[in-house]
Structure 1
């Protein structure tokens, strides 16, 4: 489904600040995989998502989605195939627009429209029905500006918007990191429910070890731009927190200041 081959990315090449963040990385992702990506700061997790989304151009290697090479496609072209939720919800939604306006824009993704035409009043009942399933009271806040919602509500909206058009791939970049523990758990429940319901292939970057173990069918650990561990199926289901900590110790000098256990 997603095929990454010999991907590399270096920032500030040929300067004293040269930093090779992704180093000849290859990865095959099957349809409906839900992969959690772990790694210390600087391991290359978010950079990998940015390369897949087209935010950064690759220096070397190829990225294929459903058998089509998208390596040279612009980010806005890939956005038709890829949904994404950032750690900062302001990057995923328009905070000065109402919830209804945000949903309408997401609903009209890929179409030519003006905002006035994009707001389809006939879809309000549908939006309310779908939002009610999230269990956050959003169905009664369609005319509220996104910026006035709670952090958890904003991320739930960002998630819903990201999957509205049923993307081939969903990228989640630490989308619960800025939330308090209770809200983080709630959003992960919403995340898992949406992914299962829509059967969307997903890559989720997280620093929360509990989430990495509890969710998804596959866990990948990165270190210095490489994949150092790829665990799936029954092997993943038997992983413990201690196992993962040992993986970090095997690949880094210290994890204490760079890894949030999230327990």
Structure 2
């Protein structure tokens, strides 16, 4: 092998600029929609019970790209959906493609800083391989913690955050079980194909005797986030699996 022809570098999956370039190119090549992992057919078994099969349930998709999952859910009866992606090209394409599904909101936003999304709002928050992308970020600890902090913040009281990942549970669970987030893991199991599906709920109100659940949880987040942010900023490529900040048990 000639000098300089070593292993190819992996794409910058953890960078927003990569995805904007990707979706601009995809549109130019005629790509309409694409699912990295699984779609509604494979996820219906877990998502519908979590929504109580209530068509009024508000759903937030984090890092949707040009996945057809929101439109498939719309056609199944779930009309109140918001899809967020950092790529403006992807957002504009999906909004144009779904003009007839007018109640789906398409927002260009960074999932690590969702200033457009209110706190404690969505009964169902779905991440389908967006967390996987942050694992590829050069500063993955910082990226993952900022992403999960926002996912936690926007998930409603009694709601559920669902993450569908190409990673095995032992790679993902330490991050979800970080003590910063008062999540109860209600499911963590292998999915169909080469995926794992994780579902986490903020702890219920009775877990905070004498107080409001959300208030106590937000107080905890506000109190501990500065320290955690400093930690992951100083060590942005750290491996949380070796940290005492998370529980190590697996479901």
TM-score above 0.5 = no
Which structure carries more relative contact order (alpha carbon 8 Å, separation 6+)? Answer: 1
TM-score under structure 1 length normalisation: 0.31
Higher strand residue share: 1
